[in-house]
Amino acid sequence: MTETAADTPLRETLLAPIHRALGARMVPFAGYSMPVQYPTGIIAEHKWTREHAGLFDVSHMGPSLLMLADRSGDPDRDHAAVSALIEPLITADVRGLKLGQVRYTLLLNDKGGILDDLMVARPRDPKWSGTLYIVVNAGTKNADFAAISAAAGDRAKLHRADDNALIALQGPEAAVVMRDFVPAAADLGFMTVGSFRHEDTDLTISRSGYTGEDGFEILVPPDHATDIWNRLTQDPRVKPIGLGARDSLRLEAGLPLYGHDLDETTSPVEADLGFAVSKRRREAADFPGAKRLLGEVAGGATRVRVGLTVEGAPAREGAEILDAEGHALGKVTSGGFAPTLNKPIAMGYVPPAFAKAGTRLGVSVRGRVQPAIVTAMPFVPHRYFRKPA
Amino acid sequence: MTTRYTREHEWIRLDGDTALVGISQYAQEQLGDIVFVELPAVGKKLAKGDEAAVVESVKAASEIFAPVAGEVVAVNDALADAPGTVNSDPEAGGWFLKLKVANRADLDSLMDEAAYKAFLETI
């Protein structure tokens, strides 16, 4: 995450007055004042999301639309044209996206280091042909948007949509809540997106999230942000959830956080995100730093992201990871307490020889070594919605 | 028994020449859900202001300082299995450690309950 200088005024999302009225504790995050927790506290919010449905204000993130300047009118041709503009920056087979499909991908520098992780989607609605819906991280959005705009030149225009509200509804009851709110959106498959209408509001809804649970991410026009938030929180199955629980939920789900578990020095192979490099792109080796990635796939990586189950005090970001003899292997990149498991967990980087699940390592916390066992991720199984065939 | 408070939100409650030490209701609210407490070894000698314990919330670790000088004569082992007691009962069951106080007069420089309440108003 990009730290903000102390003299930079914090931005607020459209929902900030609601958070304050609910008694949220607001903290600076990626240049925004954001709710880290509501009065119920992080553990209660975390557990509510795992058992019911949590509502998260993630309007600090970077939703955007990349729109082809001159459309031919042929949807496939226009999609191929806009895809060709962004593909040189990222690892996804964008051209191969089906209508309504969302894909997790990585923005890389020319050394194959990760500049951001992001979602790219192909809208289903024919009126959006030649357009991509792109959602990037809050701390990196200005740089990402600049890079995408530069790559697009005058052939496409990037329209920021981060003046809207972005609301995530997550948890095992998210789908039944959606069924009562926007019924058609409850039929979305995992990692698909669509345009929907709720009363007089146009909503872009994807079935996706950052908790490991089933759920949706809803882009809401500014004028309706408060109404939609209130409408959803009126449902007794839904409670507002802060960024603190968002972090513990994604950690349990084994999902990396940009700026902590991923940065410009990390490659997709090191980060164990090889799945984000589409087959066609890998075969063509036509993405930034492809040579490094292919070398690492062949066994050349010096470190890899692993999960750790920690005994004792939580091992936080920066804690040293040690082998059985006490030699430093790498560092924890994010760590904390896992409310679902009732014990501390962490992610960090170690050489591949130490990455096998079950390997006994140590972590140094306040100068003392505590046991840590390499653990397959996710720590808590994903429960994404799989559409019946 | 006298209970005194520090500006760092520890409390200390004297009974004879020993005193229990913990954190205030305000402090536990600020920390949020406490998931781990690291306590000192019994027998450890602490100067005023020394790090006496560490509390870990879901988000972060925070140090607890000795309000006065003394020797640790007991620690609250029950917190190992139930660190949440610091949230639910911070000023009684959620005590951290018992100090044999070096100089009882050291407590006089700390705030009494009324003064601490007035101090909280200024934060």
Q: What is the pLDDT of residues A37-51, one digit of tens each?
A: 999 999 999 999 999
Q: pTM for the whole thing?
A: 0.94
* Closest CA–CA distance from residue B52 to any residue of chain A (Å): 13
Average pLDDT over residues B81-106: 96
Average pLDDT over residues B48-63: 94
A135 sits in which H/E element = strand A131-136
Q: Does A340 touch chain B (CB under 8 A)?
A: no
A98 CB burial (10 A radius; 0-12, 13-18, 19+): exposed
- Interface confidence (ipTM) of the complex: 0.87
Give whole-number Cα distances, A374 to A273, A310, A326, A380, in Å. 17, 9, 16, 14
Furthest-apart CA atoms within chain B: distance in Å: 37
Beta-carbon pairs below 8 A across chains A and B: 43
pLDDT-derived band at A1 (thresholds 50, 70, 90) equals very low
pLDDT of residue A3: 45
User: Cβ distance A119 to A61 under 8 Å?
Assistant: no
- Spatial strand order in the sheet of B10-15: B2-5, B10-15, B18-23, B97-101, B70-75, B45-46
pLDDT-derived band at B1 (thresholds 50, 70, 90) equals confident
Q: Do B36 and A312 touch (CB under 8 A)?
A: yes
- pLDDT of A134 > 60? The answer is yes
- In terms of phi and psi (left: phi > 0; alpha: psi -120 to 50; beta: otherwise), the region of A212 is left
Mean pLDDT of chain B: 96
pLDDT of residue A116: 98
Furthest-apart CA atoms within chain A: distance in Å: 65
Instruction: Decide: helix, strand or coil at residue A248.
Output: helix
CA torsion through residues A119, A125, A126, A127, sign: negative
pLDDT of residue B59: 83
pLDDT of residue A4: 46
- pLDDT of A5 > 80? The answer is no
> Which residue from A244, A312, A366 is facing B58, i.e. has the nearest CB?
A244
pLDDT of residue A2: 42
Q: Do A316 and B36 touch (CB under 8 A)?
A: no
The interface residues of chain A toward chain B in range 364-383, judged by CB-CB distance below 8 A, are 366
Which chain B residues are Cβ-neighbours of A248 within 8 angstroms? 58
pLDDT-derived band at A388 (thresholds 50, 70, 90) equals confident
- Residue A376 DSSP label: -
pLDDT of residue A244: 97
In chain A, % of residues over pLDDT 90: 95
User: Cβ distance B58 to A37 under 8 Å?
Assistant: no
pLDDT of residue A370: 97
- pLDDT of A6 > 80? The answer is no
Average pLDDT over residues A156-163: 98
d(CA A338, CA A316) in angstroms, rounded, equals 12
Q: Which of A251, A316, A337, A341 to probe the B interface (max B CBs under 10 A)?
A: A337
- pLDDT of A297 > 90? The answer is no
Q: What is the pLDDT of residues A79-129, one digit of tens each?
A: 999 999 999 999 999 999 999 999 999 999 999 999 999 999 999 988 899
